Chains A and B, each alone.
Chain A
Amino acid sequence: MRRAPTWPRHAIMVAVCTLMLIPFYWVVKTSLTGENIYAYPPRILPQDPHLFSYVDVWYLIPFTRYLLNSLIVTAMAICGNLLFNTAAGYALTKDFPAKRWVILLFLSCMLIPFQATIIPAYLITSWLGVLNTHLGIALPLLSTIICIFVFKASFEAVPKSLIDAARIDGLSEWRIVVRIMLPLSKPAIATNVILTFIWSWNAFMWPLIVTRTADMQTLPLGLARFLSVMENTTGALYAFVVMVLVPGLAIFLMAQKEFIRGLTSGATKG
C-alpha cells in the first residue's frame, strides 16, 4: 500500500509551532533590545542586544523579596501536599466505614473551583488570623485532590505480601508508609511535587486577595504591580517576565513526563 507523503503534515506542524513560539520570541527580543521598544516599525532582530533591562529589574523592584515570598509559599505548599496527600492516599487504600462517602466527598470537592469560594475563603482566612502571611497564601494550596488519588493508585500497586511481611516484622503503620510505600512511589511523588510547584508558583488571584502589604507579594503580584506602576517605560517589564517564566519552564522541561502524567491521571479521574 502506498503511504501518503509526510511533508504536508510536517509543514502544518512547523507552522503551528512557529505560531506558538512567536510570543516567546517577541518578549525575549523586547527584553534584549537596546533601542526604544516603542519605535515603529519594530525590528525582528534585537538592535544591539544587551542585558541592561535585566539589571534594571533588580533596581526598579524588590525582586529578591518577591522571589523569596514565592519560594516560601511554594515550599510550604509542596511540604503540605506531600505530607497530607500521602497520608490521605494511604488512608484511602484501607477499608473503613463510610469510605465510599469520603471518596464521594473528595470527588465532589473537585467540582468546586477554588475561584468560586473566594469570598468566604477570605473571611475564613481572616477569621483564622493569617491574612497577609505566607501561611495564609499557602493554606488553600496545602492539599490537592488529584494528587491524593495519584498516591492512592500508586500505593494500591504495592504488592500486599510486602506490606504483610513488614507488618509481621513489627513495623508501625507510619513506618510502613515511609519505609516501603514511599520509596516504591517515586513517580507519584515527582508528579505531586511538580504539579504543586507549578500551581503555587503561578497562583495569582488568591495571593492578590490575602496580601495587604508590598513586602508579602509574590512574583505574579510583583509582575502585575510593575505593570500598573510603570507600564509605558522600558524593556525592564519584559525582562522581569522572562525572569519569572524561566524557573517554571525549566522545571517543566526537565520533568515533562511526570507533569503530563499528573495532569492526565488527574484528568481521567474526573
Chain B
Amino acid sequence: MQHQASWLHRKRTRDVALVACFLLPALTIFFLYRILPLGWNLWLSFHTWSPLKPAKWIGLEHYEEMLLDDDVFWQALTNTLIFIGASPLAIAAALGIALLVNSDLRGASVYRTIVFTSYPLMTVAVGIIWRWLYDERGGFINYVLRSSGVVDEPVKFLQSFDLALACVILAEFWQVLGFFMIILLTGLQSIPQHLYEAARVDGVPPVARFFRITLPLLRPSIFLCIVVGILNSFTSFDLVYVMTNGGPGHATELLITYIYKSGFGQTRFDYAAALTVVQFLLLIVLTWLANRLSGGNAGAMER
C-alpha cells in the first residue's frame, strides 16, 4: 500500500515538473516582454533615470510636467482620442458590408476576400501607398478632385494642419475595415436563424428585426471591434511614422509616436515610461467603459 502511494506521489511530482518544463519557455517570454516591462514602466515613471545616471526617486514630477507644462502631450492625447473616437465610423461601414455579404449573395466570398486583403499587408507599405495617393502631383486623390472640378489647386493633404490627421485615419480605416468585417461576420453567423424565422412569421418588419435581433446579439462582436479600434491607436505607430512622422508640427502626433520620440529620440526613458503608464491607463479605462456600455459581460462570451 505504502509503496503504491509513494509511486503515485512520484508520478504526480513528475507530471507537475513536466507541465512546468512545458510552460516555462512561453512564460519566460511573457514575463520578460509583458509583465516585467509593465512594472518597470511604473517604477521608471517615479524616478529620474538615464542609462548613465543612477535612479533617483522624484515622485510625481514627471506626471506634473506632463499634465501642466507639456503641450505636445495634450496634443498627442487629443489626437489619440480622435483616432479612437473615429473607429465607430469604420465599424459601422464594416457592419454594412458584413450584412451585405452575409446573405446568400452570389460571389460573396470574392467580395469578402477583396475587402479583407488590405488587412494582412505590411503597415509600412500601406503608409507609403497612401502617401502616394495623397501626393499633390502623382496622387490619385488630387487627380480625381482636380479633374472633377472640386478643387482648383492641388491639396497638400499630409502637410495640412487641418487635414493630416483625418488622412492618416482614412488610411487606417482602409487597412482595418476588412478585419472589422470578419469579426462582425463571425458574429452574424453565430446568430440562430430560427429567431429571424420566428420574427418573420410574426410579421416583424426588417428594420425592427435588425434593431431587435441582429444588433443586440452582435454586441460581443461590436465590443471586440471597439477594443481593436482602441488598440489600433497603439499599433498605428507604423502608419504615422511613415506617412507624417507626427507632423506637420504635432498635428498627427499620437501618444505612441510621442513615447517613441521621447524615449529613443531624446533618450528620456523615464519620461517616456510615464507617458506609457498614462496611455496604458487610458487603454484600460476605455476598454472598461466600452465593456460597460455594451452590456457588462460582453468580453465573457464563449468562455
**Which residues of A line the B interface, CB within 8 A?**
6, 9-10, 12-13, 16-17, 20-24, 26-27, 30, 37-42, 83-85, 87-88, 90-92, 94, 96-97, 102, 105-106, 109, 111-124, 139-140, 142-143, 145, 148, 173, 198, 201-202, 204-205, 208-209, 219-220, 223-224, 227, 237-238, 241, 244-245, 248-249, 252-253, 256, 259-260, 263-264, 267-270
Contact = CB atoms under 8 A, between A and B. Distances in A.
20 contacts: A9-B103, A12-B100, A17-B114, A20-B114, A24-B129, A26-B132, A26-B133, A41-B146, A84-B26, A88-B27, A91-B19, A94-B19, A113-B231, A115-B256, A120-B41, A124-B37, A143-B30, A223-B242, A245-B121, A248-B122
Nearest to B49: A123
Contact of A120 (B22, B36, B186, B280): B36
A264 B139 CA distance: 35
Interface of B: 15-16, 18-19, 21-23, 25-27, 29-30, 32-38, 40-41, 44, 97, 100-101, 103, 105-107, 111, 113-118, 120-126, 128-133, 137-140, 143, 146-147, 174, 177-179, 182-183, 186, 224, 231, 234-235, 237-238, 241-242, 256, 259-260, 263-264, 269, 272-273, 276, 279-280, 283-284, 287, 299, 301-303
Given A139-B29, A248-B122, A264-B183, A119 B128 contact: no
Nearest to A263: B182
B16 A97 contact: yes
A124 B122 contact: no
A38 B138 contact: yes
Contacts of B143: 40-42
A96 B125 contact: no
B19 A96 contact: yes
Given A116-B280, A143-B30, A204-B238, A42 B15 contact: no
B37 A117 contact: yes
Contact of B38 (A94, A117, A143): A117
- The interface residues of chain B, by DSSP majority, are classed as helix
Contacts of B238: 204-205, 220
Contacts of B131: 227
